[in-house]
Amino acid sequence: MSLPKGKKNKEILWDRWRDDLLINSLNEGVIVIDSELTIRVYNKAAETLTGQTAAQRIGEKAEVYSLEDSPAFEVLRTGQPIYNIENDLKDGRTFLVNYIPIKHNGETIGIVQSFNDVTERKKLETALIHTRDELDEAFALTLPNSKVEYKLKSTPEFRDVYDPRTGLITITEVIPDGNYRHVVNALKVAADLNHKGIMGLVGVKKDILVETLIFHDIGKAQPDLKVGDKVDPLELFEPGMEHAWRSADIAEHYYNLPEDAVTLIRYHHHSEDELPPSFPSYLLPMHRLIRVIDGLSASLTRRKSKLMLEAKSPTVFIWEENEHPSYAGQWAINLFTGLQRHYTLEDDTLDKYFKGKEIRRISNGYGAERQ
């Protein structure tokens, strides 16, 4: 095709071709409608996704399900975009749709609708939820009896926002079975470390570790809180050492756990300089490991965190981005010596362990305590 004569005409034609090329190069469907819901643009991806051609649809009215429910009318009325609306089609597919207003001199004159087919992703999400539920049921069968399951599931945890100026937290969500979630997540972290070889370390006993994690918070008591409450966590929440001691007594006297597991439960909230002289030195690697797992499980259960975990025996490497600055950073923890090194997230010292690795996103809130 030859270009028209005249510089201005060429520029106009190139502008029109550029817009067509851009919109038709997108993988997502794009439909543009005017304020009367007449279709003005219908790109190639929209043709593929809907099975209708631009020639069939341009100039026709857009289909809406109802005058009250259609997001298009709300966008035209308010001038505000609406994102990530799931539309279930009659053929069983699911489209994820965005509605973006087109404005001219402050007036909304049309809408850009962009959409993707997310059917397979939705099926995968459903399958993952089903798998998670099956795993939860399988875990419940490993518990000694229904009383343990009931106690864990009836002890809540809380998601909250921390105010560093006042030291107060505002409760944003109550997790009714939070203690159960905490134990499940602790076992997931332990399984990840097992996969990375830490359980093969001399001084780490896998069976003792699992028993300790299941019972470590069995004696925990939580306050009665609701969303919106502002509290001082240091005043309201029971010190960790107290419920650790109570948990150890329950594990020992009611469930006959081995002495090593009882000792680890009793002192899992003690830092090393707080341990009594009678604490067995051979349990120190396990003590350090349990404190690492407990802290990471807290991030999984009740904080907004991004997390990476690696291991090179006998050292565990942790990368954590957290709303609370005290918990954000990178750590290298030697389970044999107890030596801990802390680095900021910007530091590249541990890049050889984390660079290029997948970050786990955990959409929870900061909790009242790390350990």
Question: Which residue from 33, 37, 45, 50 is spatially nearest to 113, judged by alpha carbons?
Answer: 33
Domain count, the chain: 2
Q: Are residues 147 and 226 in the same domain?
A: yes
pLDDT over threshold 70, residue 13: no
Does the residue 222 lie in any domain?
A: yes
- Cβ pair 232, 223 in contact under 8 A: no
Average pLDDT on 8-13 reads 59
DSSP structure string for 316-352: EEEEEEESSGGG-EEEEEETTT--EEEE-TT--TTHH
DSSP letter assigned to residue 188: H
Amino acid at 41: V
Q: Are residues 66 and 199 in the same domain?
A: no
Give the global pTM.
0.61
Distance between CA 35 and CA 186 in Å, rounded? 54
pLDDT of the residue at 141: 56
Residues 251-276: pLDDT tens digits?
999 999 999 999 999 999 999 999 99
Q: Are residues 18 and 47 in the same domain?
A: yes
Residues 318-336: pLDDT tens digits?
888 877 777 788 889 999 9
Question: Which residue from 175, 131, 133, 211 is spatially nearest to 301, judged by alpha carbons?
Answer: 175
Q: Which range marks the domain in which residue 167 is found?
A: 124-363
Distance between CA 48 and CA 327 in Å, rounded? 48
Q: Are residues 157 and 252 in the same domain?
A: yes
- Cβ pair 228, 160 in contact under 8 A: no
Distance between CA 297 and CA 322 in Å, rounded? 13
DSSP structure string for 214-260: HHTTTT-------TT-EE-HHHHSPPHHHHHHHHHHHHHHHH---HH
Backbone angles phi, psi at 283, to 5 degrees: -90, -5
The pLDDT mean for the chain works out to 83
Q: Are residues 55 and 141 in the same domain?
A: no
Q: Are residues 68 and 150 in the same domain?
A: no
Which residues touch 237 (CB under 8 Å, ≥6 apart)? 222, 223, 368, 369
Residues 58-91: pLDDT tens digits?
999 887 654 446 788 889 999 999 999 888 888 8
